Amino acid sequence: MSGAPSAWHAARRAVGEMLDPHGLNLVACSGGADSLALATAAAWHHHRATGPSAAAQVGGVVVDHDLHPDSVEVAGRTVSQLKKLGLEPVRIYSAHVDPESPLGPEAAARTGRYQAFRKAMVELGASRILLAHTKDDQVEQVLLGLARGSGTRSLAGIPSARGPFRRPLLNLSRSDTEAICEHYQLQWWNDPANADPRFLRSKIRTEILPYLERELSGSLRESLARTAKIAADDADYMESQAKDIFPVLLEDPDPNGALRLKLKALRAEPPAIRRRVIALAVAAAGGANPSFERLSAAEKLVTGSRSTGPVEMEGHIRIHRGARQTPDYGKLVIVPPSG
């Protein structure tokens, strides 16, 4: 392997750090350069005889979204290349994409894809799925977060690990993955949707990022990737602080499942922690992750709004401040849908 590009050695090391040596690891492969490069690095560990990742079992999962006329052919060619690399088992799964989804086509495809991943994990008995997001994907995610006015967690970009999912290639670029594929004579597929400006991520990739690099700095991608790393560290710390503080502020729930937070102590926390504690309470009551707008409305109940609420949150959760001369005075009350 001495003639392999340096990117391959970097990919191999990164994959080795994220493999489960005791379970089945599935490489999620679309047939693009990124996922085929990932599969090549994972296959090296699959065949390795010694070392920490010795005999790590690696298979492949190919998701067919059925969004273009060549999808069956692309999926079949991808399976063939994964099998030539020696991965086992290799399976194709179909993803249901709701064309009427209010979230838009990109989010609908992502939802269908992750449903297929979870089905594959159950049916094949896998413990981890390796995803081929690269530094370029990370940079695009940071710009998407900026465009949407999102918070620190969104600016942190794509996490390297979440649940059973691992992303070893976040420090490699698309040019790196293409170099790996060229070296190993793998035929990758270029999804036409990746260059379709109708999709916001594609527009960022093909128009906005190149423009910013020309007008601002050729090292913009590195700067944005560094921003993501800093934001991720900050977000991890603040979320850890909020998780430590949440049980201290939480009173015992009542039989109906309503949660109560100590208002004065919550008010004393910095806004970044306060909002995260409220979000944790909403999640604990069975709600979805709140938007910034709804969190801000709930926070006003803590910091002195004349209104006592209620504020409606995602998942039909209601938040109100206990009124004077009631047992809930001095408390922020989070009521689940059945409350």
Residue ending a domain, among 172, 206, 222, is: 222
Judgement on whether residues 184 and 148 belong to the same structural domain of the protein: yes
CB 268 within 8 A of CB 249: no
What type of residue is 325? Answer: Q
Bridge partners (DSSP) listed for residue 61: 28, 91
Judgement on whether residues 178 and 317 belong to the same structural domain of the protein: no
Judgement on whether residues 117 and 211 belong to the same structural domain of the protein: yes
Judgement on whether residues 96 and 208 belong to the same structural domain of the protein: yes
pLDDT of residue 146: 82
pLDDT of residue 320: 93
| Residue 238 within any structural domain of the chain | no
In whole angstroms, give the CA distance from residue 334 to residue 263.
12
| Residue 233 within any structural domain of the chain | no
Judgement on whether residues 91 and 186 belong to the same structural domain of the protein: yes
| Residue 121 within any structural domain of the chain | yes
Judgement on whether residues 212 and 263 belong to the same structural domain of the protein: no
Judgement on whether residues 187 and 266 belong to the same structural domain of the protein: no
In whole angstroms, give the CA distance from residue 170 to residue 197.
24
What is the 3-state secondary structure of the chain? Answer: CCCCCHHHHHHHHHHHHHCCCCCEEEEECCCCHHHHHHHHHHHHHHHCCCCCCCCCEEEEEEEECCCCCCHHHHHHHHHHHHHHCCCCCEEEEECCCCCCCCCCHHHHHHHHHHHHHHHHHHHHCEEEEECCCCHHHHHHHHHHHHHHCCCHHHHCCCCCEECCEECCCCCCCHHHHHHHHHHCCCCCCCCHHHHCCCCHHHHHHHHHHHHHHHHCCCCHHHHHHHHHHHHHHHHHHHHHHHHHHHHHHECCCCCCCCEEEEHHHHHCCCHHHHHHHHHHHHHHCCCCCCCHHHHHHHHHHHHCCCCCCCEEECCCEEEEEECCCCCCECEEEEECCCC
pLDDT of residue 109: 79
| Residue 139 within any structural domain of the chain | yes
| Residue 229 within any structural domain of the chain | no
What type of residue is 94? Answer: S
pLDDT of residue 218: 80
Q: Is 35 annotated as a binding residue?
A: yes
Judgement on whether residues 307 and 179 belong to the same structural domain of the protein: no
pLDDT of residue 182: 93
Tokens representing 332 are: 């922020």
Judgement on whether residues 214 and 261 belong to the same structural domain of the protein: no
Judgement on whether residues 202 and 302 belong to the same structural domain of the protein: no
| Residue 78 within any structural domain of the chain | yes
Q: Is 30 annotated as a binding residue?
A: yes
Q: Is 31 annotated as a binding residue?
A: yes
CB 116 within 8 A of CB 124: no
Number of domains in the chain: 2
CB 40 within 8 A of CB 180: yes
Q: Is 80 annotated as a binding residue?
A: no
CA distances from 58 to 94, 131, 270 (A): 20, 13, 45
pLDDT of residue 55: 64
Q: What is the pLDDT of residues 144-170, one digit of tens each?
A: 888 777 678 778 888 999 999 999 999
- What's this model's pTM, rounded to 2 decimal places? 0.82
Judgement on whether residues 161 and 214 belong to the same structural domain of the protein: yes
pLDDT of residue 282: 92
Question: The domain spanning residue 319 has which CATH number?
Answer: 3.30.465
Positions in the chain short of pLDDT 70: 1-4, 49-55, 67, 99-103, 150, 338-339
Task: Tell me the HSE value of 172 on the side-chain side, using a 13 A CA sphere.
Answer: 30
pLDDT of residue 101: 67
Q: Is 66 annotated as a binding residue?
A: no
For the four alpha carbons of 271, 151, 155 and 19, in that order, the dihedral sign comes to positive
| Residue 307 within any structural domain of the chain | yes
Judgement on whether residues 189 and 50 belong to the same structural domain of the protein: yes
In whole angstroms, give the CA distance from residue 19 to residue 180.
20
| Residue 245 within any structural domain of the chain | no
Q: Which domain holds residue 279?
A: 250-335
Tokens representing 141 are: 């995610």
Question: The domain spanning residue 214 has which CATH number?
Answer: 3.40.50.620
Residue 226: how many CB atoms within 10 A of its CB?
12
